[in-house]
Structure 1
C-alpha cells in the first residue's frame, strides 16, 4: 500500500459510550465546540445503565450546531432496518444533514438475546447486514411500491420516506474477511476498532477492501477508512500503542494516515482526555500529514 493512493481529507471525532450517568450532552457540546467532525455514539442497548443511542443522537443534534452524529455502530439485531432508516432520515432532516449511519452485524449475542434479538451464526449475521443496507437505502429512495424479499428482512411498503436531507453515508463496523468484502461492495466506509484491528492487521484489511471494491466495479478511494482509537493520552510515558503522551499520539496517527490510509479517527478514550486530543493532537496530525503528503506527491511526480 502506498500513501499516494489515499489522499482524502482527514476527519476527526469522538467515540462516546452512552453511560446514562455521564454528562453526555455536555461532552457532545464540547466535541462540537472543539471543532471535531464526528460524534460516534456506541450502541449497546442490552447493557445496564446505558442511554438509548437513537434518542441520545436526536438530543445531541438539537444541542449542537455543526458536528455530524452517528451510531458507531448501531446494533442491527435490535434495530429493524426499515424503522432505523426512518429514525436516521428524520434526524438528518431536522439537523440540516448532520447524520451518518454506522451499522454492525452484532457481536454480544447473549446480551442481544436477553433483549429479544435472534442469535445468528456468523454467515447469517453477515447476510443480514448486507440485506439491511439494501433495505435502508430503499427506504431513503423516492421509489413507490417498495418490495424487498430477503433471507432475513422483508418489506412491502407503499412508498419510501421520509427522504433524508442529503446522501447519508453508511459505514460498516466489521472485521472478518467476508464481512470486509461486504463493506467493499455496499458501504461508504469501514469502521475498525484499534483493539481488534491493530496496525499489523490494518494493512491486510485495507487490501481486502481495495480488492473487493475493485472486483465490484467500485473505486476503493470512495470508501472512507475510520479508525476507533481505544487508548489513553497522558504524560506518564509510552506504555504501548495509543497509550502515552500527545507527541506519541501525533506520531502514531500520522503513520496511520500516511502509511495505512486511515482518513478518519474517532477518539475512544476517556472524555476527560478530549481537550488534549482535540486541541493538541488533532491540529498537529493535520499539519504533519499535510507536510508528508506534499513530500510524497513531489516524489511520486519525479
Structure 2
C-alpha cells in the first residue's frame, strides 16, 4: 500500500495568504495531501471548503482534505455537490473527511436542530452513503432515509472521493468499518495509544461483518510534534505521547509505525501554525523521503 504523507495548514483568517503559500510549498515538495479543519461557527476561521477550493486552484498535484467535515452544518445532498464539483475541477484531488459533529452547543447556534449522539451517528452513516450515491454518474437517485431525502436527483459524473472519518465512539467506529475508506484517530492518538488499540478492532469487526476486507480501511494519523536539528533524549512524554525529535528519530518512529503497526498515512501538524513554513519544509524534505525510502513507498 502506498503511504500517504500530508500537512495540516491553518484556517485562520489572519493567516489566509500564508496558508495558500504553504499549500503551494507542500505541493512543490511532493506531499500528498493538505488538511484543514472545519469550524463554520468560528468567525476567525475561514470556511474550510472555500479554502480548499482556492488552494486546489493554486496547486498541481496535492489533494485537499477537510479534517473533518462538520456534517450537521453541511447537509449531505449539498455536500455531495460541493465534493463532486471540487473533484471535477481538481481532476480528482480531493479526500472527503467526514465527522458526525461534536461541538453541538456551537452547531445549534447556526440554527441546526440538536441530535442526540445515537441519532448523530445514524445521520453520519446515512450522509456518507448518500454522498456516495450522488457521485460517479448513473441514473437518478431517490433516497428516503431517516435524515435525508432526495427524489430523482441525478448524480454528478465526477469520480467519488475517498472517505476518511474522524470516528471516536464505538457506534461511529463501526460506521467507519462498514462504509469508509480511511480512519483518522481522534485527539492525535497514534499507533501506540490505548485509543488506537481499543478502537481499531471495532472497525475491523464491522468491516468483516459487512463483507469487507478490514485492510480496505486505512489508518491515517494526525501527528503533531517538533522536528529538531539534533536528537532529543526522549521522543515521548511520560504518558507515552509522541513529542518529536530529529529527522532521523522521526524516520525511525514512522518506519516502525508502517512496518510493525500497519500505519498507512501521516498528516503532520507543526506546533506553531503561524510559523509552520520551516517545520513543514523539514517534514516534506527530510522526514518524508526517509520514510518512503525505508518502507519502499
TM-score > 0.5 by shorter chain: yes
In structure 1, stretches of 5+ residues that fail to align are 1-7, 292-302
Moved more, 76-85 or 251-260: 251-260
Q: Deviations over 1:153-209 (max 9, x none)?
A: 2222x3323221x23111111122221111010111111245345622323322222
| Structure of greater relative contact order (alpha carbons < 8 Å, 6+ residues apart) | 1
Q: Is the 8 A contact 1:242 1:252 kept in 2?
A: no
Q: Deviations over 1:256-288 (max 9, x none)?
A: 212221101111224231011111111111222
Query: What does residue 221 of structure 2 align with?
Result: 227
Cα displacement (A) at 1:40: 1.6
- Could you tell me which of 148, 152, 167 is aligned with 1:174? 167
SS of residue paired to 2:8: strand
Q: How does 1:1-302 map to 2 (within 5 A)?
A: 8-22=1-15, 23-156=18-151, 158-164=152-158, 166-193=159-186, 195-196=188-189, 199-201=192-194, 202-235=196-229, 237=232, 238=234, 240=236, 241-269=242-270, 270=272, 271-272=276-277, 273-290=279-296
CA distance in 2, matches of 1:75, 1:16: 17
CA distance in 1, matches of 2:193, 2:138: 44
CA distance in 1, matches of 2:37, 2:107: 15
CA distance in 2, matches of 1:197, 1:120: 29
**Normalising by structure 1, what TM-score?**
0.87
Q: Is the 8 A contact 2:141 2:155 kept in 1?
A: no
Query: What does residue 239 of structure 2 align with?
Result: none
Give the CA RMSD over aligned residues.
1.9
Change (3 A) 1:290 1:204: farther
SS of residue paired to 1:221: helix
CA distance in 1, matches of 2:79, 2:112: 15
Q: Is the 8 A contact 1:194 1:230 kept in 2?
A: no
In structure 2, stretches of 5+ residues that fail to align are 237-241
- Alignment coverage as a number of residue pairs: 282
**Normalising by structure 2, what TM-score?**
0.89
